Copies of this chain bind each other. A is one copy, B any other.
Amino acid sequence: MEKREPAADPGDASADEATSWQAQKSAATRNLIIESAIQCFVDLGYARTTTTRIAHAAGLSRGAMLHHFPSKMDVVKAAVDELHSKRLKAFRNSIKKAPPPGKGRVHVAVQAYWEHVRHPTFVAFFELTVAARTDPQLYAILEPAQAAFYDEWYRTAFEAFPEWQSDKEAFDLALDLSRYLLEGMAVSSLTHAEPAREQHLLEYLENQLRYLRPSTDLDAAAN
């Protein structure tokens, strides 16, 4: 066997030169396994995701995989953590690059979350959530991540939309409405997408959010 370069490390490419080659490769393999697991959740669902399939998708033997993760649940745990940080990162990014100060923010924000809930990351998380309902062990792993995400989601949104801070009740309502409606649409579209109806509802939601938004002097008729 020739020596292979450790594959690119998308997770946390800590290019620490002190880290040995072995450690780099190990981390790369770990990430490969995690990504494969997530892919399996999306493609096969949680129930049909077996260690055999994950290993196969990663191009490894089961033995190799169980070297990095002693049990299946260890893989799941790592995948949950990865999904959690991915969701958070994606959300922060879209918030950060999205802020034309007072103009069209509602549209951008709605589109951002709508894209998020249609992304494979959300699908994988959703699969896990459903499975966790009847699987206490998985629930114990998933619940903290879930709670932390929505907590952070709320806080970040609150800071990113200061014009709402004068009416916290309206803000909560707007956030809940957006979240439940978009997630409901996304879940439904997993098995039966209806683009036209979805588009209508997105426009409706945006209008509702503009209506709920506390009026400031600046944006009487701003989109």
Contacts and interface: CB of A to CB of B under 8 A. Distances in A.
Contacts of A44: 134
A198 to B, nearest CB: 9
A21 to B, nearest CB: 38
29 contacts: A45-B47, A45-B131, A45-B134, A46-B47, A47-B47, A48-B134, A126-B130, A133-B190, A133-B191, A143-B191, A143-B192, A146-B191, A146-B192, A147-B192, A173-B201, A173-B204, A176-B197, A176-B201, A177-B201, A177-B204, A179-B184, A179-B188, A180-B184, A180-B201, A181-B181, A182-B184, A183-B184, A184-B187, A187-B187
Interface string A117-146: 000000000110111111100010001001
A218 to B, nearest CB: 26
Interface residues of A, number: 40
Q: Which of A127, A146, A147, A183 has the most CB of B within 10 A?
A: A183
A132 B13 CA distance: 37
A58 interface: no
A208 interface: yes
A57 to B, nearest CB: 14
Query: So how many copies of this chain end up in the complex?
Result: 2
For the complex of A and B, the 10 pairs showing the least CB-CB separation, nearest first, are A184-B184, A47-B47, A45-B134, A180-B184, A183-B184, A180-B185, A181-B181, A130-B130, A176-B197, A44-B134
Main secondary structure of the interface of A (DSSP, over half): helix
Interface in A164-201: 172-173, 176-177, 179-185, 187-188, 190-192, 197, 200-201
A27 B127 CA distance: 36
A209 B97 CA distance: 35
Contact of A173 (B43, B139, B190, B200): B200
